[in-house]
Structure 1
Amino acid sequence: MSKLHSAAEVVYREVKERILSAALPGGELISEGEIAAEMGTSRTPVREAFLRLEAEGWMRLYPKRGALIVPVADGEAEHVVAARRLVETDAVRTVAGNETARTGLASALRANLVAQREAAASGDVDGFSGLDADFHGLIVRAGGNPLLVTFYARLRERQRRMTARSLARDPLQLASIIDDHTALADLVESADADGYDAAVTVHMRRVHGLPLLSAGAR
């Protein structure tokens, strides 16, 4: 890899991380020169990184004005939550009938919860957002469907960004999210897929500020 492409990769990863962690919130305008000066590089690798981020839908470039961080679109949270709920509940139904897989998953979820509590106690909101995404990802991977795992991985970045945005708006949610995750882990361990479906729906909608649905609407 050339030095130029290596520098562009570093800029790409750093700026994308800031977007996903909500350090660069939707609607903010940044410039190539600003990022280049901050990261000690020329504008060329920054331009290459920005073009890549634009192609992925995270930025919108305006010549001579800068790069706009694309906000979470209207309705995006609803769509992401609906897709996550279907995939996660399917995975829980799969492991419900496999005691070995269910026990292994429950153990992994408990370990993740320990890390969540440590991140919350230290005020590491960015780390917590990643652990939150990992918690739900563990459940999907336990379902053993590689197509759904790949699909869910594409949702992970959107999920992380949405969670970081929600926590920036209300940091006090950390404790309630951990409580919800503890209850979800209990439902997995007890093989209660229907209970998980109802609980994860309420959990995700509450975290992302969406109105709760009636039982019939779920």
Structure 2
Amino acid sequence: MTGQAAAERAYAYTKRRIITGELPGGERLSEGRICEELELSRTPVHEAFLRLAAERLITLSSRQGATVQPVSVTEVADLIETRGVLERTAVARIAAQAPAAAEVEAALGAPLARQEAALAAGDLAAYVEADCDFHAAVVGLSGNPIAAHFFDLLRDRQLRLAFLVLSGSGVVLDLSFREHREMAACLGRHDAAAYHAVLEVHLSRHQGLA
């Protein structure tokens, strides 16, 4: 394995554990432990930690080493505000374009089906991934590639927040799924106001988690 591939492996492994909450905010990280778990040398793991620090998922200190960055109240509010603006704008544009119901189904049917399957299987990780993919598909349906790009940049933080919401706040997954189906129905009939109303409730569960 090349040094670059080893660093990418260490990065993906550690990042996934942070996003899913396996490594919670405030958790101390050890380069040596990651080296042992992945059977890698120190250099690629150190490079992975530097990359995670640049993404503000961990903090590095000469005295305390590496620590998982907690999700702050401010970060939650900023993330919800930003994704809300992007999604509401996309929905308004979709409603104005009035796509055929079949086009809406083609865009949203796959993530909804994956959510339903994950729900039946009790697979939280698969459900969260499909949850984020559903909202990304809505933004993509607007036909605005710049909005889709910026929405994608939020994906890791959205995933992390979704794991917090859906695993630690008592939210019933079936309720979240029903809201997604309702939002898809709103798009099918080009009703932006109704979509926004459901989205407001949907996002409100994310507040106050940090």
Q: Same fold (TM over 0.5)?
A: yes
- CA–CA separation in structure 1 for the residues paired with 2:100 and 2:15: 34
Q: Secondary structure at the match of 2:67?
A: strand
Structure 1: 5+ residue stretches without partners: 212-218
Q: Is the 8 A contact 1:85 1:197 kept in 2?
A: no
What's the counterpart of residue 71 of structure 1? Answer: 70
Match of 1:105 in 2: 104
Q: SS of the residue aligned with 2:193?
A: helix
Match of 2:122 in 1: 123
**What is the 5 A alignment of 1:40-189?**
40-63=39-62, 65-100=64-99, 103-170=102-169, 172-189=171-188
Counterpart of 1:56, as a letter, is E
Give me the identity figure in percent: 37
Aligned position for 2:32: 33
Provide the rounded CA distance (Å) in 2 between the counterparts of 1:154 and 1:41: 29
Equivalent residue for 1:215?
none
| Alpha-carbon offset, residue 172 of structure 1 | 4.7
| Cα deviations by residue, 1:95-128 (Å, 9 ceiling, x for unpaired) | 2233446531233323321210111222211111
- Number of aligned residues: 209
Letter paired with 1:46: V
1:120-154 Cα shifts (integer Å, max 9, x gaps) = 22221111111111000001011111221111111
Letter in 2 for 1:141: G
CA distance in 2, matches of 1:55, 1:99: 41
TM-score (ref. length: structure 2): 0.92
How far did residue 32 of structure 1 move? Answer: 0.3
CA–CA distance in structure 1, aligned partners of residues 100 and 23 of structure 2: 39
SS at match of 1:144: coil
Report the residue type matching 2:51 in the other structure. Answer: R
Q: Is the 8 A contact 2:77 2:207 kept in 1?
A: no
Q: Deviations over 1:78-108 (max 9, x none)?
A: 2211222221122122222334465312333
Distance of 2:183 and 2:208 partners within structure 1: 19
1:13 CA displacement: 1.1
Q: How many angstroms apart in 1 are the aligned matches of 2:101 and 2:148?
A: 17
CA contact (8 A) 1:27 1:71 kept: yes
**In 2, Cα distance between equivalents of 1:190 and 1:91:** 15
* SS in structure 2 of the partner of residue 108 of structure 1: helix
Structure-to-structure mapping, 1:4-19, within 5 angstroms: 4-19=3-18
Counterpart AA for 2:47: E
Coordinate RMSD, CA, aligned:
1.9
